[in-house]
């Protein structure tokens, strides 16, 4: 049974012309970690606030464990939230911050004490319990904010971009920490972020939002490999997918497309058969960096591979591999090259295209063309 069901959630802010949320439907299973991801202004924070009860929705319903909570006050929903700014009470010590919600709910003193200790142990913040938030580092504050949520043992945890105020290294550490914690506690989590890596690494399932509409809901792998549309394809993955608009051709060998390098060299690439209906029509080819690499790195037993020599415009070594930029049809295209075989910019490199995994989009609807 789903822990949280969102049914056609709609929200229009007073005085606004457009709907901020245009009918969102999501089910979150018990113990599931769901991330809401999307560019700023996509409505993900509004959706989160609506779940928490901080914003009243204008349509639809929210059900938790079979109970409709749409009209409930926040405190009656039994939902905890970790804020981007942590929102720690500045005049209260860490201990009081964690205990506040319990006290309000009338938990006996001893139980509170025990609960605070438990949470503090869990998050390794026991030595900080008597400090004021202002004396803590960003990472410590973050832990306290989580501790405050954990202490309540709510049905659902909401995280509103909790890591975005931390520096890069700490962010990765905390990410792992959160993941560990979730694996231990098996709590139901809805996690908002604009960082797709965070979304991918943490989530059981990802919900991609744009302009108040759910673009795709699926596991990280689904979203990455089979994005529903151009937006999701471009949003998920780093460096992001490159898009080239071109025409499907039919030759003796089968279906193919032709790309042109920066020096005018042409290269024919085979494409899957399900595009047969699209021969002579224009499609958008979506190709991820790892689909173009040195021939060694691509398993050539796949049928749909092709290689050619192309000029490398820019190289960006990341350590394990090198991101190289080539130009196809006048568009910058990223390739992921093996760091063991360095290439220099301005030189030609022999590159292999793995056309098994590339995706195609209908230029008119921007939807992915599905194999049927």
Partner 1 sequence: MTDVVRRGVRPSRIAIYGVLLLACLVYLIPLIIMLITSFKTPMDIRSSNLLALPTDWTTIGWTKAWAEACTGVQCEGVKGFFWNSFKMAVPAVLISTLLGAFNGYVLSKWKFRGADLMFGMLLFGCFVPFQVVLLPMAQTLGMLGMANTTPGLVLVHVTYGVAFTTLFFRNYYVAIPDALIKAARLDGAGFFTIFFRILLPMSTPIIMVSLIWQFTQIWNDFLFGVVFSSGESQPITVALNNLVNTSTGVKEYNVDMAAAMIAALPTLVVYIVAGKYFIRGLTAGSEKG
Partner 2 sequence: MEYRQRRPSGVARVSSGMMDSLQRWLPKLVVAPTVLIIGIGIYGFMLWTAVLSFTDSSFLPSYNFVGLEQYAKLMESQRWLVASSNLALFGGLFIGICLLIGVVLAIFLDQRIRQEGAIRTIYLYPMALSMIVTGTVWRWILNPRQGLEKMMHDWGWTSFSFDWLVNPDFAIYTIVMAAVWQASGFVMALFLAGLRGVDSSIISAARVDGASLPVIYWKLILPSLRPVFFSSVMVLAHIAIKSFDLVMAMTSGGPGYSTDLPAVYMYATTFTRGQIGQGSASAMLMLGAILALLVPYLYSELREKRHD
Interface residue with partner 1 among 5, 7, 100, 211 (CB under 8 A) is 100
In this structure, are strands 359-361 and 305-311 parallel, antiparallel, or unpaired?
unpaired
**Residue 121 found at the interface with partner 2 (CB under 8 A):** no
d(CA 285, CA 84) in angstroms, rounded, equals 37
Give 57 or 208: the residue with its C-beta nearer to partner 2: 57
**Residue 107 found at the interface with partner 2 (CB under 8 A):** yes
Q: Sheet containing 266-270: which strands, arranged edge to edge?
A: 249-251, 254-260, 266-270
Interface residue with partner 1 among 104, 276, 314, 331 (CB under 8 A) is 104
Q: Which does 83 bind (CB under 5 to 8 A by kind): partner 1, partner 2, none?
A: partner 1
At closest approach, how far in Å is the CB of 155 from partner 2?
Answer: 8
**Residue 75 found at the interface with partner 1 (CB under 8 A):** yes
At closest approach, how far in Å is the CB of 126 from partner 1?
Answer: 21
At closest approach, how far in Å is the CB of 56 from partner 2?
Answer: 10
Stretch that binds partner 2, among 70-78, 194-202, 229-237, 243-251 (CB under 8 A): 70-78
Stretch that binds partner 2, among 41-49, 69-77, 194-202, 284-292 (CB under 8 A): 69-77
Give 186 or 250: the residue with its C-beta nearer to partner 2: 186
Give 148 or 291: the residue with its C-beta nearer to partner 1: 148
**Residue 272 found at the interface with partner 1 (CB under 8 A):** no
In this structure, are strands 205-210 and 33-37 parallel, antiparallel, or unpaired?
parallel
At closest approach, how far in Å is the CB of 270 from partner 1?
Answer: 53
Give 75 or 265: the residue with its C-beta nearer to partner 2: 75
**Residue 85 found at the interface with partner 1 (CB under 8 A):** yes
**Residue 66 found at the interface with partner 2 (CB under 8 A):** no
∠ CA 322-303-336, rounded to 5°: 5
Name the token pair of 256. 């193919």
**C-alpha radius of gyration, the chain, whole number:** 25
Which residues 133-192 are close enough to bind partner 1 by CB under 8 A?
A: 148, 152
**Residue 87 found at the interface with partner 1 (CB under 8 A):** yes
Q: Which does 72 bind (CB under 5 to 8 A by kind): partner 2, partner 1, none?
A: partner 2
Interface residue with partner 2 among 186, 265, 299, 370 (CB under 8 A) is 186
Is residue 72 within 8 A of residue 10, CB to CB? The reply is no
d(CA 75, CA 259) in angstroms, rounded, equals 58
Interface residue with partner 2 among 13, 25, 91, 105 (CB under 8 A) is 105
Binding site for partner 1 (CB under 8 A): 14, 49, 52-54, 73-75, 79-81, 83-92, 100-101, 104-105, 148, 152
């Amino acid at each position: 049974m789903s822990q949280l069901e969102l049914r056609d959630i709609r929200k229009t802010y007073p005085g606004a012309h457009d709907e901020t949320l245009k009918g969102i439907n999501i089910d979150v299973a018990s113990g599931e970690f769901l991330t809401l991801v999307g560019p700023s202004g996509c409505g993900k924070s509004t959706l989160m606030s609506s779940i928490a009860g901080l914003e009243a929705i204008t349509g639809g319903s929210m059900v938790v464990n079979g109970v409709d909570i749409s009209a409930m006050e926040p405190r009656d929903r039994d939902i905890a939230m970790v804020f981007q700014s942590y929102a720690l009470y500045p005049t209260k010590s860490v201990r009081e911050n964690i205990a506040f919600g319990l006290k309000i709910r009338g938990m006996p003193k001893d139980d509170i004490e025990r609960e605070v200790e438990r949470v503090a142990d869990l998050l390794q913040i026991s030595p900080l319990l008597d400090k004021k938030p202002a004396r803590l580092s960003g990472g410590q504050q973050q832990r306290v904010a989580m501790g405050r949520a954990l202490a309540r043992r709510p049905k659902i945890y909401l995280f509103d971009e909790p890591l975005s105020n931390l520096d890069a290294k700490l962010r990765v550490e905390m990410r792992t920490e959160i993941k560990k914690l979730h694996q231990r506690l098996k709590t139901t989590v809805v996690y908002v972020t604009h960082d797709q890596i965070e979304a991918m690494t943490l989530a059981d399932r990802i919900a991609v939002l744009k302009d108040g509409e759910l673009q795709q809901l699926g596991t990280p792998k689904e979203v990455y490999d089979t994005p529903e549309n151009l937006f999701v394809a471009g949003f998920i993955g780093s460096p992001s997918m490159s898009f080239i608009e071109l025409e499907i051709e039919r030759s003796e060998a089968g279906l193919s497309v032709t790309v042109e390098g920066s020096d005018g060299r042409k290269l024919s690439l085979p494409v899957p058969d399900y595009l047969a209906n699209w021969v002579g029509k224009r499609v958008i080819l979506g190709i991820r960096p790892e689909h173009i690499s040195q021939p060694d790195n691509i398993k050539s037993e796949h049928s749909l591979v092709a290689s050619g020599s192309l000029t490398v415009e820019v190289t960006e070594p990341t350590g394990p591999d090198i991101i190289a930029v080539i130009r196809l049809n006048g568009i910058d295209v990223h390739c992921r090259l093996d760091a063991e075989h360095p290439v220099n910019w301005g030189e030609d490199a022999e590159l292999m295209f793995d056309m098994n995994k590339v995706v195609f989009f209908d230029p008119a609807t921007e939807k992915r063309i599905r194999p049927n």
